[in-house]
């Protein structure tokens, strides 16, 4: 019996598409104001970013990267935030219950660029690395915002143990 070629192409086409999305990356719309001004500077025209999954396959993320992850509070929601500290870093928090936090093994610290308008680690604490799904690589839409996303961390948010002068001042 011969399978009609239309059904055959659906049978293979859908898995190939899903595998591509799962292992290479996909394009997603950024909602909300938590990453202003890096993403969504204008509320009316949302940015579309390319999320690269290959880059986080080995869980090697750097400070200053923008990553997307599954929200620790609501597993059906994905959030996009900037990595501020990785495991072992000592972070001076902004509104967390403790003033200074050392990031435990296998965790990292994320913050939105729009301080005070973002649900981030200052709210729920260090996040497990296993929740990371992808790294935001470039803004693909609208055309006027077409650019690669640079690795950037404000000087005031550098972990205390990476900045000896600042560490001395705080202790």
Residues found near other proteins in the complex (CB under 8 A):
11-12, 14-16, 18-19, 22-23, 59, 69-76, 104-107, 124, 127-132
Number of neighbouring beta carbons within 10 Å of residue 46 = 15
Nearest approach, Cβ of 15 to other proteins (angstroms)? 4
The one catalytic residue in 68, 81, 118, 121 is 81
- List C-alpha distances in Å: 138 to 8, 43, 85, 156, 159: 35, 19, 22, 25, 25
User: Nearer Cβ to other proteins, position 23 or 170?
Assistant: 23
142: tokens are: 């609208």
* Residues in contact with 119: Cβ distance below 8 Å, sequence separation at least 6, in sequence order: 34, 71, 73, 79, 112
- In the chain, what are the helix, strand and coil shares in percent, each to the nearest 5? 25, 30, 45
Per the CB < 8 A criterion, the answer to whether 82 and 38 are in contact is yes
Nearest approach, Cβ of 141 to other proteins (angstroms)? 27
- Give yes or no: 81 in active site: yes
User: Nearer Cβ to other proteins, position 38 or 131?
Assistant: 131
Nearest approach, Cβ of 58 to other proteins (angstroms)? 8
User: Nearer Cβ to other proteins, position 135 or 157?
Assistant: 135
The one catalytic residue in 34, 68, 118, 121 is 34
Residues known to be catalytic: 34, 81
């Amino acid at each position: 019996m011969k399978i009609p070629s239309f059904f055959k192409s659906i049978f293979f086409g859908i898995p190939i598409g899903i595998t591509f999305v799962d292992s290479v990356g996909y394009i997603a719309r950024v909602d909300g104001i938590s990453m202003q001004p890096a993403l969504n500077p204008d509320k009316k025209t949302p940015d579309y970013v390319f999320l690269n999954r290959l880059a986080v396959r080995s869980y090697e993320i750097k400070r200053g990267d923008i990553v997307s992850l599954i929200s620790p509070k609501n597993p059906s929601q994905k959030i996009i935030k900037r990595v501020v500290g990785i495991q072992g870093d000592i972070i001076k928090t902004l509104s967390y219950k403790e003033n200074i936090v050392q990031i435990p093994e296998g965790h990292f610290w994320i913050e939105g660029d729009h301080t005070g308008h973002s649900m981030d680690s200052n709210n729920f604490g260090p996040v497990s690395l296993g929740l990371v799904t992808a790294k935001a690589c470039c803004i693909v839409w609208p055309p006027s915002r077409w650019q690669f996303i640079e690795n950037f961390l404000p000087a005031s948010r550098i972990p205390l143990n990476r900045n000896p002068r600042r560490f001395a001042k705080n202790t």
